[in-house]
Structure 1
């Protein structure tokens, strides 16, 4: 075999290998993750997909949970959302602004408790349970929170003047890129955690907006996309750990295993 022939053979072989790797690992795939909790906390979920995975996670994250009152949420958020660069402040969800922990309240530039799964979607209000679950409660600027209201999540609309990077229209809200995945994982956590037991509504995502008072939040296809595009960062992971260690003693499984989103909602 000549050197040219050998080169062509090697090039062809390399091309086959490259194609095979590319086919097996699409650019949009969420990498499979492993955690220190797989052999303990998640042991009954590992290896499952679809409804069996969702059912297993519901049992895991609903067991031995500590529930907060709505007043206790204030102090919890001061710890879960603490600014890592300034322990006197919290980071606000939609604006990304670092603001004094003590400036919580109802005035326009205060921060308040944002229900990421809008509390009117299922009409659970601020009652103990879904209304006080800090996995989906975040500090937010009062007026920006009002702009979001109870809208479903989707892409598009006009930019929110007070919160550049966020967009809104009549029936949906699009958060800034840095927290799109956070929002998706909070919504999907709520769907797995609240399945109609304990007197709570059965919360489910759907691929619609303008869900009104139905126990549904959309748009699912967009939330799945955001989960892929904005993987969990250090702030989100630390928040999950603080909730587990210090408050509710359960975890958001989609922060630990973001690939489980696609495994459940195919």
Structure 2
């Protein structure tokens, strides 16, 4: 979650000299104010190129434009996902490890598999919601696949997302009940933006189901996941951090060559939904 920083303004040396010059009658000798920076904002190149057909739009027009943009992607197989996650979710403090989504633990990259204590491939948009399984496409889209502790992944299962429930064993800060799962605060926004990416990317025009979020937690095998109102709140409360932004860049540069637009532009969540 973001932290509030309290800034204590201090007068710069040039400003102090200017004040002194006024007091001594030598204002003309005061240093000229610095020219405003002309450096481009970090997203400007993307908005001028990658997102150029989406900028300025809202609602269904924005969603449609983003769908067209992000559908232009390279696809990987389910077996290739293992190696991809070792890059996308690398522990910045230990390049031999990955960070698990729900526990936040740093685990050796080599400790992947299906046994207790290992990490496996979690489909954040549960693969049964739309019955796409592990098919190349939504089943292998690493924008919503993350390393997860095997047991915690099993606990989450195919539940929708919502607040509340009982504490999840071995994953402090996560909660679950019979029909929903609440991730820890540090990744609530990540989860929301992954779900909303999937809803924009997969619109039913490529032989897969039209995936859409709704405000239910009883979606079963329908191509829906909720609770949308809660996901929107999570996205606002937990804005993209450096880990999530780096992950988006790695996927774009090295693997799928498409981006999660809600990491680059979190305000587009409200603009569409």
- TM-score band w.r.t. shorter chain: 0.7 to 0.9
Please identify the structure whose Cα radius of gyration is greater: 2
Q: 1:153 aligns with which of 153, 161, 164?
A: 161
CA displacement at 1:54 relative to structure 2: 0.0
- Post-superposition Cα deviations, 1:98-138, rounded to whole Å, max 9, x if no partner, equal 00000000111100000000000000000000000000000
CA displacement at 1:34 relative to structure 2: 4.3
Structure 1 residues 130-169: aligned runs within 5 Å: 130-169=138-177
CA–CA distance in structure 2, aligned partners of residues 231 and 151 of structure 1: 23
CA–CA distance in structure 2, aligned partners of residues 49 and 34 of structure 1: 18
Structure 1 residue 176 corresponds to structure 2 residue 184? yes
Runs of 4+ in 1 over 2 A off after TM superposition: 33-36
Q: Which residue of 1 aligns with 2:230?
A: 222
Q: 2:55 aligns with which of 46, 51, 60?
A: 46
Q: What's the TM-score, normalizing by structure 2?
A: 0.84
Answer with 235-244 or 155-164: which moved more.
155-164
CA displacement at 1:35 relative to structure 2: 4.3
Report the RMSD for the aligned CA atoms in angstroms: 0.8
CA–CA distance in structure 1, aligned partners of residues 98 and 105 of structure 2: 8
Q: Which residue of 2 aligns with 1:190?
A: 198
- Post-superposition Cα deviations, 1:38-61, rounded to whole Å, max 9, x if no partner, equal 000000000000000000000000
Q: 1:73 aligns with which of 81, 84, 98?
A: 81
CA–CA distance in structure 2, aligned partners of residues 255 and 148 of structure 1: 24
Query: Please, which runs of 5 or more residues in structure 2 have no aligned partner?
Result: 1-41
Q: 2:46 aligns with which of 32, 37, 40?
A: 37
Any conservation in 2 of the 1:35–1:256 contact (CA below 8 Å)? Answer: no
CA–CA distance in structure 2, aligned partners of residues 189 and 145 of structure 1: 21
CA–CA distance in structure 2, aligned partners of residues 140 and 194 of structure 1: 23
